[in-house]
Amino acid sequence: MLSVEEALQKILDEVDVLEAEYVLLLDSLGQVLAEDIKSGINVPPLDNSAMDGFAVRSEDTQNAGEKTPKLLRVVDTVLAGSISKKELTPGTAIRIMTGAPLPRGADSVVQFEHTDEGKNKNAARIGIMEQARPGLNVRKAGEDITRGTIAVKKGTVIRPAEIGLIASAGHSKVKVTRRPVVAVLSTGNELVETGEPLPEGKIYDSNAYSIAALVKRYGGIPKVLGIARDDEAELVEKLKQAQDADMVLTTGGVSMGDYDMVKDILARDGRIVFWQVRVKPGKPLAFGKIKGRDKNGRETSIPHLGLPGNAVSCMVSFELFVRPALLKMMGKKNIAKPVVEAIMEDNVKNEAGRRLYDRAIIEKRDDHYYARLTGPQGSGVLTSMAMANGLVLIPEEKLTIKKGDTVHALMLDWNEEVNI
């Protein structure tokens, strides 16, 4: 049986980075830039004021101070977005607002707070009470982005700051590695769609929701196919609807039961790469490739992960195996979740002989991370997953972990406030 690392490597070896496409700038959030963004303009385009105040010639402010104001004649007012037609000549000043281009002849700006403007609004003369050095409160043309240079490099993950930067260079569309479309199919005779009445013996299909939510969270586009009964013909039929997807995720039907036929279909109609991983929860993971067709009718080979049916197992398997694969497909280089060292606050027994990923609350106190379990660790107990912000790793060779021992904790979320 494969280790987590071996299984992940086999999955990563079978998935490729997707092609690039142009999208609207705002839609690119979280995606990887597939081209260098060059700026055809200087940002800012002109020297401009960083303050509301008076544009002056610095030499006119020699020895100006609180007690020794220099009186200058106000010849114009210039707002952001306008250009003053006046040129500053010796002994004059122009009222200027933040962002307005610096008038010709001016080399600095004295902010209102350092003038007598408060006492003397809109007067024809202004008392300057600060000696300005050349360049004071002036933002130079091109100080943010210089025309012709690369503003954002190919391969960068686009965050809000990059979106702003790309917009300031004037682009409304960007070329990014496209998002994977991920088909999500639940399997099981016991499953009922939410919103329907619940007959005796049945349960609601929660996996479709949690798995589709994870796909969304990590930047993919979920295509929810609903529920397939544990019936070969129905499963094969439903899987046909996944033909144009970039990845197929099924839940359930991969354990040892009589009706666990997902892995058999995968082996028969596709190619199975592995089944089972030395991990708990999540042992019965199946991975292979199934035949698909792209929008041009060409045959493709789609990665198919048969996730375990239990509500927590499929989520943990997703975090360990699907998330890195999706990130790779989206062109990301940093595909590992953060891991911290944490001091256990509970005793843990490992009777499984596999690596455990136990749900925990990881908190930082006095410069150390501490981890405590969120309660019952049954692989169907979603409440303890909902309470967790991380998973603690208990190595397969460790039979017990004692309170006070240090473990590795995989951070699912970094929020240190936990809602319990």
Residue 310 interacts with which of ligand AMP, Mg ion, none, CB < 5 to 8 Å by class: ligand AMP
Residue 413 C-beta: closest distance to ligand AMP, Å: 22
Q: Is the Cα dihedral 203, 265, 13, 184 positive or negative? A: negative
Residue 203 interacts with which of Mg ion, ligand AMP, none, CB < 5 to 8 Å by class: ligand AMP
Residue 201 C-beta: closest distance to Mg ion, Å: 13
Residue 351 C-beta: closest distance to ligand AMP, Å: 20
CB 27 within 8 A of CB 50: no
DSSP 56-67: E-GGGGTT--SS
Residue 376 interacts with which of Mg ion, ligand AMP, none, CB < 5 to 8 Å by class: none
Residue 3 interacts with which of Mg ion, ligand AMP, none, CB < 5 to 8 Å by class: none
Residue 251 C-beta: closest distance to Mg ion, Å: 9
Residue 281 interacts with which of Mg ion, ligand AMP, none, CB < 5 to 8 Å by class: none
- For 131-170, give one letter per residue: b (16+ CB within 10 A) or e: bbeeebbbbebbeebeeeeebbeeeebbeeebbebbeebe
Residue 199 C-beta: closest distance to ligand AMP, Å: 14
Which parts of 170-209 interact with Mg ion (CB under 5 A)? 188
Residue 320 C-beta: closest distance to ligand AMP, Å: 17
Give whichever of 288 and 309 is closer to ligand AMP, judged by the CB atom.
309
CB 11 within 8 A of CB 325: yes
* Angle, vertex CA 248, rays to CA 224 and CA 230, nearest 5: 75
Residue 390 interacts with which of Mg ion, ligand AMP, none, CB < 5 to 8 Å by class: none
The verdict on 284 binding Mg ion (CB under 5 A) reads no
Nearest to 30 by CA among 245, 167, 174: 174
Q: Which residues bind ligand AMP (CB under 6 A)?
A: 186, 188, 190-191, 203, 205-208, 251-255, 257, 260, 308-311
Give whichever of 246 and 260 is closer to ligand AMP, judged by the CB atom.
260
Cα(222)–Cα(213) distance, integer angstroms: 8
CB 344 within 8 A of CB 364: no
Give whichever of 248 and 327 is closer to ligand AMP, judged by the CB atom.
248
Nearest to 124 by CA among 55, 72, 78: 72
Give whichever of 309 and 390 is closer to Mg ion, judged by the CB atom.
309
Cα(415)–Cα(406) distance, integer angstroms: 21
Residues forming the site for Mg ion (CB under 5 A): 188, 252-253, 309
